[in-house]
Amino acid sequence: MQKTGHERNFTDRFGTTADVTRRDFLTTVGKTALFASLGIFGAGCEAVDRGLIDRGLLPVVLEDLQAAGLPKPDMLVHSENPFNGEFAPHLLNDDVTPIERHFVRNNSGIPERAINKDLRDWKLVIDGEVHKELALSMDDLTRFPQVTMEVVLECAGNGRNLFVPEVSGTPWQRGAVACSEWTGVRMRDVLQAAGVKPSAVYTGNYGEDQPNDGSEPFSRGIPLEKAMDEHTLIALTMNGEVLPAAHGFPARLIVPGWIGSAMQKWLNRIWVRDRVHDSEKMSGYSYRIPAYPIAPGDTPPVEDMRIATAWQVKSLITQPQSSLESSTGTPIKVRGHAWAGENRIDKVMVSTDFGLQWQEAQLIPPSNRYAWSHWETELTFGNKGYYEIWARAYDNTGAAQPFTQPWNPKGYLGNVIHRVPISIVA
């Protein structure tokens, strides 16, 4: 049943862009584009920035964003520093999400190296519970077999703004998810090259991004078993392009089915550990969920928290756009994606009457395991009025999306059914 991404010869795409520096890039793009892209922050903001720029005091964060190609057009920007942005569901209709539509989730600034596409002195260090420490250059990495897979990447907090009561954290709606084609090397090939000791149980993954406030760098890890899985990649390209600055240049982890924070960007160290990785972002309430269901608003003791790993079954309605206005008798194409972490999508059911009646959508299988499935159906309404299109995915274990969102303190792993309101006029 399990399909693996096909291996293919790897062409080094890094040379062509690595010499474009940040300053060159800014010069090329120019201030007009910068201002245009800043429109999303509002007019007041723009005026302030213009004043700064006129005095030669371009704020570093804005320069970084522009250099990193952010924000993307039509992006819903949650924060600038660190930069976090997503897209409305109808903008995620593609089978493979274009880079221009891939959400961006950062914990701190984007490293200079990524913005400059600068590979000088870059090494990926493998250390800890290994027989031989490695410090691999990009050339070294590209000598490993290359694997290409489509993989869903979703922030653990996607859907957080649907939690009641409200929880803290970036208020992701439904767009912090995408499915890209990733090419890279198997993490296990690299780990095996270093020689994993019997004492190894976990990885601790590190990237080049550094918090501005001097706090502990963002680092998470995965169990050795998942690290050694044939589908877990150190990705070097995304949709056939060298990794964009915002997505982890020059290398990031792809841990299929798992929450996005497991997929370390700007990867420069894999610390093989003899215990569960105990960084700040693996501890306390960070990326951890209660061991048992809790009442909305309750916070269980920290010893009852468990590390969040794989996503649960979920679906997205990408067509029609929310608040579509259509007419009676006109067929409406309904389409979307569905995915299920470590499991497979079994079916997607659609309702337009608040869950009274359901029809099964046509399911289009994923390109490979861990890609999302697509589904589509057609709806025709006989009467005018307000309707909601509901999609509910089921996986091969029989699990389905819940009708209301079970709660946890940080709003992780939200997978309540997606509801798209539409209006039918007579």
CA distances from 40 to 87, 170, 244 (A): 13, 17, 21
Instruction: Name which of 27 and 357 has its Cβ closer to its own copies.
Output: 357
Would you tell me the crossing angle of helices 43-54 and 22-38 to the nearest 10 degrees?
A: 140
- The radius of gyration computed from the CA coordinates of the chain, to the nearest angstrom, equals 22
Instruction: Name which of 81 and 321 has its Cβ closer to its own copies.
Output: 321
Least Å distance, CB 351 to its own copies, is 9
For residue 366, what are its two tokens?
Answer: 């994923």
Least Å distance, CB 300 to its own copies, is 9
Least Å distance, CB 295 to its own copies, is 4
Least Å distance, CB 355 to its own copies, is 4
Binding residues for its own copies (CB under 8 A): 290, 292-296, 298, 353-357, 383-387, 398-400, 402-406, 419, 421, 423
Least Å distance, CB 106 to its own copies, is 32
Least Å distance, CB 334 to its own copies, is 17
Instruction: Name which of 24 and 354 has its Cβ closer to its own copies.
Output: 354
Instruction: Name which of 275 and 384 has its Cβ closer to its own copies.
Output: 384
Instruction: Name which of 321 and 423 has its Cβ closer to its own copies.
Output: 423
The DSSP secondary-structure symbol of 218 reads P
Q: Please answer whether residues 370 and 257 qualify as being in contact, where contact means their C-beta atoms are separated by less than 8 angstroms.
A: yes
Burial of 104 (C-beta count, 10 Å sphere; 0-12/13-18/19+): buried
Instruction: Name which of 23 and 384 has its Cβ closer to its own copies.
Output: 384
Least Å distance, CB 138 to its own copies, is 45
Instruction: Name which of 312 and 373 has its Cβ closer to its own copies.
Output: 312
Q: What is the DSSP string of 98-162?
A: -GGG--EE-SSPPPHHHHHT--TT--EEEEESBSS-EEE-HHHHHTSPEEEEEEEEE-TTTTGGG
Count of residues making up the chain: 426
Q: What is the DSSP string of 299-322?
A: ---GGGEEE--BPPPEEEEEESPT
Residue holding tokens 């890609």?
A: 371
Three-state DSSP class for residue 252:
strand
Would you tell me the crossing angle of helices 60-67 and 22-38 to the nearest 10 degrees?
A: 100
Instruction: Name which of 110 and 350 has its Cβ closer to its own copies.
Output: 350
Least Å distance, CB 370 to its own copies, is 23
Q: What is the DSSP string of 369-424?
A: TTSPEEEEEEE--SS-EEEEEEEEEEETTS-B--SS----TT--S--PPEEEEEEE
Q: Please answer whether residues 74 and 88 qualify as being in contact, where contact means their C-beta atoms are separated by less than 8 angstroms.
A: yes
Phi, psi of 373 (to 5 degrees): -85, 160
Torsion of CA 51, 55, 61, 64, to 10 degrees: 120
Least Å distance, CB 380 to its own copies, is 15
Least Å distance, CB 199 to its own copies, is 33
Q: Please answer whether residues 347 and 358 qualify as being in contact, where contact means their C-beta atoms are separated by less than 8 angstroms.
A: no
The DSSP secondary-structure symbol of 217 reads P
Instruction: Name which of 69 and 402 has its Cβ closer to its own copies.
Output: 402
Instruction: Name which of 118 and 395 has its Cβ closer to its own copies.
Output: 395
